[in-house]
Amino acid sequence: MTANVGTIDRILRALLGIALLWLAFFSGLPAVEAGALKWIAAAVGVVMLGVAAVRVCPLYSIAGIRTCRA
């Protein structure tokens, strides 16, 4: 697959992924600890980190969006 995620986009996705994983597992907030919200935040965080690592976003591919130069 061709890379379609640029550098700034990768950094923002990585930061968002780390923040969501921290929120899910280390924040201690009662709203997140209680149930499904914890696992949704964790799943989205893992997906964001994965997209940042491989530089390919499936939704960008479907929509024809590219944030990288090459």
The pLDDT value recorded for residue 2 is: 87
pLDDT at 54 over 90: yes
- Per-residue model confidence as pLDDT tens digits over 9-29: 999 999 999 999 999 999 888
User: Rounded to two decimals, what is the model's pTM?
Assistant: 0.87
- Per-residue model confidence as pLDDT tens digits over 34-52: 889 999 999 999 999 999 9
What rounded mean pLDDT belongs to the chain?
92
Sign of CA dihedral 27, 13, 42, 54: negative
